[in-house]
């Protein structure tokens, strides 16, 4: 089986590649035995893409890396030819950046996805897995979203992802393409670019800096370890029904204030290191995914508890300064 992983040098995509290729030290618990003959990574290596994320599998002869952009039709057409499966992680994903400028999000997340879908249709790709987010639903005060919940995105980022979801599902309905969509809750774990909340807080605390807490800290998120997310994606790749949406969640909801407290404790810091800042525009109050569908159909359940996951994540950033310090210096330059 030949698998194309878009965005495979990013945080989540690289975890998927490392998992597919059985990276040394990685966990195989609950991972479907996909056994690819070749894994091709297509990545534009923007600020959050990093070849170092693939270092554990860099010498695997099954790995092929292509430096290219999903918005470029000629590049995409050449890479998609001969692939059996596409797992599409590539996206602009930082909400704050989308508020500052929505253009790159629309171009990459919507037009880039359309370019991939066209190439997949043209070359007869057997399965197209489109990886999305719970943010497409907006905010929910109580209860949890099911997969048939109406989309109501509130940020330019989430709106662009909702658009790409609808495009992917439309290619199934219009052309009969074997498309499946996954929507996940907030990911965390190793190799996450340090602009996102957990690596930002951890790296700042490890360096003796303060951390910013939006508004009253009452925004609620469900936290999902990246390994569990990729396990869920692999299950959907193997056994998901064409044209369906599957939720992948972590099962642990925390307010941002509760999360901050756990990170302070894990890093040996106190609340005097927290600075309250004005809330983000359009900040969704609460996300919550119902994961009963993927559990009943494919047997998915999260395996990494939040306490263990946060502890191992903090340890990883503590032990891998050589990975994140250059990224932070480059961002500040």
Task: Point out the residues that are catalytic.
Answer: 134-135, 157
**253 Cβ partners below 8 Å, 6+ apart?**
220, 221, 222, 223, 286, 288
Whether the Cβ atoms of residue 119 and residue 55 lie closer than 8 Å to each other: no
Positive or negative, the Cα torsion across 61, 13, 87, 115?
negative
Two tokens, residue 145: 């979203």
Whether the Cβ atoms of residue 244 and residue 181 lie closer than 8 Å to each other: yes
Sheet holding 253-255, edge to edge: 186-188, 220-225, 253-255
Strand partners, 225: 188
Helix (H, G, I), strand (E, B) or coil at 249: coil
Helix (H, G, I), strand (E, B) or coil at 146: coil
Whether the Cβ atoms of residue 85 and residue 40 lie closer than 8 Å to each other: no
DSSP-assigned states of every residue in 42-108: EE---TT--GGGGGGGTT-TTEEEEE--TT-HHHHHHHHTT-SEEEE------HHHHHH--HHHIII
Whether the Cβ atoms of residue 34 and residue 20 lie closer than 8 Å to each other: yes
């Amino acid at each position: 089986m030949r698998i194309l992983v878009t965005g495979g040098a990013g945080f989540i995509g690289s975890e998927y590649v490392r998992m597919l290729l059985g990276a040394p030290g990685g966990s195989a618990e609950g991972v479907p035995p996909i056994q690819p003959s070749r894994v091709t990574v297509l990545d534009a290596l923007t600020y959050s893409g990093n070849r170092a994320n693939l270092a554990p599998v860099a010498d695997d002869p099954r790995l092929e890396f292509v430096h290219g952009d999903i918005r470029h039709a000629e590049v995409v057409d050449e890479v998609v030819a001969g692939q059996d499966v596409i797992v599409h992680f590539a996206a602009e994903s930082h909400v704050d950046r989308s508020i500052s400028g929505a253009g790159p999000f629309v171009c990459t997340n919507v037009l880039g996805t359309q370019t991939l879908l066209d190439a997949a249709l043209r070359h007869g790709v057997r399965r197209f897995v489109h990886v999305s987010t719970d943010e497409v639903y907006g905010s929910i005060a109580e209860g949890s979203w099911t997969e048939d919940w109406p989309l109501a995105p509130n940020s330019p980022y989430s709106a662009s992802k909702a658009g790409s979801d609808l495009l992917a599902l439309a290619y199934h309905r219009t052309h009969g393409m074997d498309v499946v969509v996954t929507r996940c809750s907030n990911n965390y774990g190793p190799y996450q670019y340090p602009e996102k909340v957990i690596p930002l807080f951890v790296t700042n605390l490890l360096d003796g800096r303060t951390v910013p807490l939006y508004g009253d800290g009452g925004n609620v998120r469900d936290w999902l370890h990246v390994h569990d997310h990729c396990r869920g994606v692999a299950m959907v790749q193997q056994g998901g029904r064409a044209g369906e949406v599957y939720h992948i969640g972590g099962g642990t909801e925390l307010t941002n204030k509760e999360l901050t407290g756990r990170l302070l404790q894990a890093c040996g810091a106190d609340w005097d290191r927290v600075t309250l800042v004005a809330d983000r525009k359009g900040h969704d109050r609460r996300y919550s995914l119902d994961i009963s569908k993927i559990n009943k159909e494919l047997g998915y359940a999260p395996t990494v508890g939040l306490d263990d996951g946060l502890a191992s994540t903090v340890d990883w950033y503590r032990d891998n300064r050589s990975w994140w310090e250059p990224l932070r210096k480059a961002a500040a330059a």
